[in-house]
Each structure stands twice: as structure tokens, then as C-alpha cells.
Amino acid sequence: MKKLNNNVLVALLGVVLGVLLTLVVFKILPEKRFDGDYNRWRKLNLILQEVQKNYVDTIDMKTMTDAAVIAALAELDPHSVYLPPVELTESESELAGNFEGIGISFNVPNDTVVVLNTIPGGPSEKAGLIQGDRVIRVGDRVIAGVKMPQDSMIRLMKGPSGTKVKITVKRGSEIIPFDIVRDKIPVHCVDAAFMIDDTTGYIKLSKFTRTTYKEFRQATSKLLDQGMKKLVFDLRDNTGGYFDQSLLLSNEFLQKGDGVVYMEGLHRPRQEYNADGTGKLKDVALAVLIDEGTASSSEIFSGAIQDNDRGVIIGRRSFGKGLVQEPVNFTDGSGIRLTVARFYTPSGRCIQKPYDKDYAYDIYERYAHGEMTSADSMKVDTSAVFYTVKGRRVYGGGGIIPDVFVPMDTTKATSFFIKANKKATQMRFAQSMFDRYRSELSRIDDFDKLDRYLDNINLGSQFLEFASRVDGIKPAKGEWVESAPYMMPQLKALVGRFSKLGDEAFYRFYLPIDDTIQTALKTENQSY
């Protein structure tokens, strides 16, 4: 809705300016001639001043100015943006590695917030909220069963540290109100870190926040103590974040003097960044997992590893977001993020993909053209050839092209699986399992024990009964045999998330059916 409103404002501004210019030509020009020199940006100010002085109705100058800024920045590139005060604060809070709120993570099956867990030591835990609570009201606002957007729910629960909010939950048949004092909540970016086998570690990183390097060092230190010799580093769907954090992570793996990245722009001379040789993981074999959701700082890291022949990049072509944005903040709490340079990998590849007419729909185009399922359909600019440290050819054209392509597997999508996905049957089933087995699940902190427990409660047969009874979905003859090898790990992952293992259980259960991870485990030579 916000995007639509902004578009309407821009359109209205265009209409208003068109009318105004007509008035200027016929009524004002004989008396006064404006200096509309585009090079000095005066024209925009003059037009807005005339609107303010002469427009037929009362206007909101703040809205008009914001609309003009949004329209102007839209002419530059897809990532130079204006952020009103609320959006600016939210974006900075997330990347800073903390925000102010009540401290819960949740899902929204059946149009109701269900608490997945409370942040240890956070306001909700202290107040008494527990896993499985259904949040039905925030303050006096009903949020359950009213199709409220999730971002609106989040805004209601977030707020300045020290402020109080009443959260009303349904726990079983009881309705319980909690007065919760908001506080600073840490946001973790390492979703999971564990050993896949005796020598192979796995880390899933969701974003590059201010705490990324610290969390990463803690995770790798733990895995090294457990015998890690090889790391599968999962950057799929990691949209990036702070640039300096990608430098620090790259430095952990590279030798002294190895190039990490350089940036350059019309008003920004070339600036190179190199490793200093102090990293602790220079001898750890490395596989980096990427996909179409891997962007920005994640691509800087992946490009540095690839160009230095330090590890193997596995998956699908990354997003292609390699622009340097500088913040410019204003006294009213708003700001802009202005593109001032582009990022280039050490070999000279520009990470940023072209701004063509289909830029906003690029991912959809990749699906349509078959790039997700066939390496031959991958968009590669073979005229832009570059070379790694060891002389391997790598190509430009935007994004990081993997060394080993792993297609999206569409063969597992049976009719039963698709129907269940459309109704989020698996998620709602997982919630019902937690409601039924809450006391047992909440105590399990060992993965093998969790796996055995889920097998003993006949998860598969319970899911089929739930799908039939609640959603009217039944597999056709032989379809469950075909679907089960893929769906059972998914069900275990969703239910296992309610155990003490949390996201670690989720990712560990997915390992056997994750083709990209399985490819990484089979790729022996991690350094080309």
C-alpha cells in the first residue's frame, strides 16, 4: 500500500507541475522570467515554491517534497532511495544487530501470530511468554484473524526501549494479558553452526550486520575445536549488509596481499582492499553456497574467494547488487542512500548487473528463461572475460557465476506437495505437534535423540491425517511414497525447530534433501 501511495503522489505531482507550468507560460512570464538552469537544481525549488504560493487548494509541503525526491532518485539507479524517518530507523536498527521491541520470533499460520521462541533474557521471556502462545492483541488492537500484514504486526510490537506495551495471548483455552517493557533486542545473523561430519562444519549466515564478524568468529572457533577441516558456508538468500563485515570475513580465509574488492566511481577514485594475512581459517577448505538471493556483501565475499582460487563457489548465479551506497541523513530523521561507486572483484568484474528495463523482474526472468534449472541458460557475458589468480576464466555481466552449478529441483513437487504448500499445511501441522508434545519437545537438546523421538510419534501418518482432516488434502495412490522422501525431512525440520535445538535442528534435518549442500560435500577439491 505504501508503494502504491508513493506512486500516486508522484503521479499527482506530475499533474500539478504540468498545470503550474501552463500558468507560468501564460500568466507569469510576461511579468517575470525564472532562471530554470538544470545544472544548478534551481528549477525544482522554484516549482515547489510556486506550488506553495499559487496552488488552488491547501497542500502538504512535506508530502510534496518527499514525492519529488522519490521521483528524482528513481531516475538514477534501482538502489538510490529516499527513506522516511520510520523506514530509515528500521533499516539501521536491523543492520546494527539489534532493535528495540519485546523479543520474540514468530510464525503466522492461520492468520495468527504464534510464538516460536522468546529471546533469552529478553522482555517477553522475563514477562512470562512461552513457545506456542498465540498473540491476539497488541495494546487494544486485535491482530489475530484480521489479515493484518506481518510488517504492521512487527511495528506494533516494536517501540522505544523503556516503553510499555500490553500483549494479550491465548494459551490453550486461557486468555492472558502481559505488560511488557520493551528493551534492546539482539539480532543474530548466524542462523546455524554445527558439524556435518567429523571434519566438515556448516555455517548459515543470514545477513551482514554489525555483529557478523564477532558471531562468525565465535561459530568457527567452536567448530575448529570440534575438528573442522572443511567449511560449507551457506550464503544463499543473504542479501548483504555492512561492507566492512564482508572484508573481515574474507580476511579470515585469504593470504596477506590477496585482493578482496575495489570500488570506483565518477567522484570516487579507485580504492582497493586487500587481506592482511591475520586470518585464522587460511588452511580450512572452503565451499561457498550462493543463489539468486545472494547479494551485495555476500557477493563481495564470494567474488574474493573465487578470484583468489581460495574455494569453490556452488549453486546458482547471485543477484548482482554491487553498488556502493553512502548514507545522507537529515535533521527530520529521514535520509537518502545514494550510489557513489561500484564494487569490482579483484579480477576486475563489476558485481552490479545492468540496469535494463527488466531489472525489477530479473529473478522472474531467470525462471522464465530456464536459468534456474539449466546451466546452459545462465546469463553470461562471454565478451567480458577475466582471470583468477591461477588463470581460470571467469565472466562478467553481473553477479557471481558459480564454479559448480546446482539446478533447482522441480521433480519432487508432486500434486500433493503443491497443494499442501499452497495451504501452508506443513507449518500448521508443526504447530499442532508442538501443542500436543510441548513438554517433551521443549526438553530435547540432542539431535539424534530428537530424530528418534520424531520417528517414534509416527510423524508421517499424523501429517496425512491432519492434512485430510483440516485441509481436505489426500495423496493420490502411490503419491505419498513419491513425496515422503522429500516431505518427511521438511516436517521434521519444522517440528524440530520447537525443540531446544531451534534453527540447528531445522537446517540439520534439511541436509539430506538439500542438493546444493550434498554437492558441496561431494566436491573434494575445495581450492582450484
Q: How far apart are CA 66 and CA 496, in angstroms?
A: 46
**Cα angle vertex 436, ends 153, 486, to 5°?**
80
pLDDT for residue 383: 86
Q: Is residue 192 within 8 Å of residue 213, measured between CB atoms?
A: no
Q: Write out the three cell numbers for 522.
A: 561431494
Task: Please state which of the ranges 1-10, 151-160, 318-327 shows the lowest mean pLDDT.
Answer: 1-10
Whole-number Cα distances in Å, 313 to 217, 416, 514: 21, 34, 16
CA pair distance 22, 29, nearest whole angstrom: 10
Measure the CA angle with vertex 298, ends 297 and 301; round to 5°. 85
pLDDT at 4: 38
Closest by CA position to 324, among listed 79, 68, 5 = 79
**What's at 172, amino acid-wise?**
G
* Neighbour count for residue 477 (Cβ, 10 Å): 6
Over pLDDT 70: what percentage of the chain?
88
**What is the pLDDT, as a whole number, of residue 384?**
87
| pLDDT category of residue 16 using cuts at 50, 70 and 90 | very low
Residue-wise pLDDT tens digits, 468-501: 999 999 999 999 999 999 999 999 999 998 898 9
pLDDT on residue 493? 94
| Buried b or exposed e, range 146-158, using 16+ CB within 10 angstroms | eebeeeebeebbb
pLDDT score of 6 more than 50: no
Average pLDDT over residues 303-322: 96
- C-alpha 264: how far from its chain's center? 26
pLDDT number for residue 40: 65
Q: Comparing 119-128, 226-235, 388-397, 399-408, which segment has the lowest mean pLDDT?
A: 119-128
pLDDT at 7: 40
Write down the pTM of the prediction.
0.79
Greatest CA separation found in the chain?
89
pLDDT, tens only, 68-77: 888 888 888 8
The mean-pLDDT minimum among 115-119, 301-305, 352-356 falls in: 115-119
CA atoms of 400 and 292, how far apart (whole Å): 10
Taking 80 as the threshold, does the pLDDT of residue 373 lie above it? yes
The structural domains of the chain, ordered by start, are: 2-75 (no CATH), 98-186 (2.30.42.10), 190-219+236-405 (3.90.226.10), 415-516 (no CATH)
Give the span between the Cα atoms of 73 and 66, in whole angstroms.
Answer: 11
pLDDT value of position 361: 80
